[in-house]
Structures are given as structure tokens and as C-alpha cells.
Amino acid sequence: MTLSGLATMKHRATVICERDGRVLLVARRGGRWAFPGGRQKNGEELARTAERELAEETQMWATSIRYAFQFKGLRTRHFVFVARFDERSEPLPSHEITRCLWVRLDELLQVEASIPTKGIAGIFLKQARRKTGLALDEALNTLAA
């Protein structure tokens, strides 16, 4: 607790993996869909947190990872990264994750996803379209490059 009585904001590395116009979501048993990611360990760089969490939760290893933006939730500040990975790799639920799903960003609102996940997806989609002025698939491919 801080002196003001409010809980300290948690930091989370959140990872967006995009393939063919779809993004990867993960879920715990009985939980809502979310982007892979998790909390930073003491002294760990956030990019390393993103790589570690992606590997722990999906058995996918990023070939590159880059910082994209921050998203402030109610109790958590998400440091959002975009990961590149071997196109032949497939996610395998691992660690606390029991399900993995590829979904189109523009279909994410219909999926039972967490509120931060939907907010992050909205920002990512807007950035992709704003930076490129292209259709969704082309914009996502350009932004992830």
C-alpha cells in the first residue's frame, strides 16, 4: 500500500503475436482470453519478461520482440510488446495456461476476453491502420515487421 492507501500499480509485460491477420490469445482454466504475458521479476528487463512469459505460456520462442506502447488498466500497467516468431511454430498451452486461440483482431470484441485485452487490441488495431493506411491484414503485417 502507498501512503495514500491505494495499492501500487502492478507492471505486466503483454505480448501480441500476429500471424495471417490473427492474434494469439491464451486462457487459464475457466478464465477469460488474454494476450500472453505476466509480471516482471525483480531486476528483469520488461522485454525479457515478455520473452519468458511467451515461452512459459505457449512454448513459442520469439525471434525478435519490440516495445509497442503502454496500456493502463485499473490495477495494472501493461507494457505491450509485438513478437516475431518462426512461422512454423504452434502454441502449446503450458504453465498455468490451458487454452490457446488465434483470433482476428476485428473479431476480438465477440470473444470472452478480459477488458484490458480488448483495450490493448483496439489500440494495436488503430496504430496499425494509422501507420499504414492499409486494410487490416496489410496493416498488421506491416506493423509486426
For the stretch 119-134, pLDDT in tens is 999 898 887 767 655 4
**Burial zone of 79 (CB within 10 Å; 0-12 exposed, 13-18 middle, 19+ buried):** buried
> Would you tell me how many other CB atoms lie within 10 Å of the CB of residue 57?
25
Domain extents for the chain? 10-144
Work out the number of other CB atoms within 10 angstroms of the CB of residue 54. 27
Domain 10-144 fold? Nucleoside Triphosphate Pyrophosphohydrolase (3.90.79)
pLDDT greater than 50 at residue 2: no
pLDDT per position as a tens digit, 24-79? 999 999 999 999 999 999 999 999 999 999 999 999 999 999 999 999 988 999 99
pLDDT at 100: 97
pTM of the predicted model, to two decimals? 0.84
Q: Which residues pair with 40 in a beta bridge?
A: none
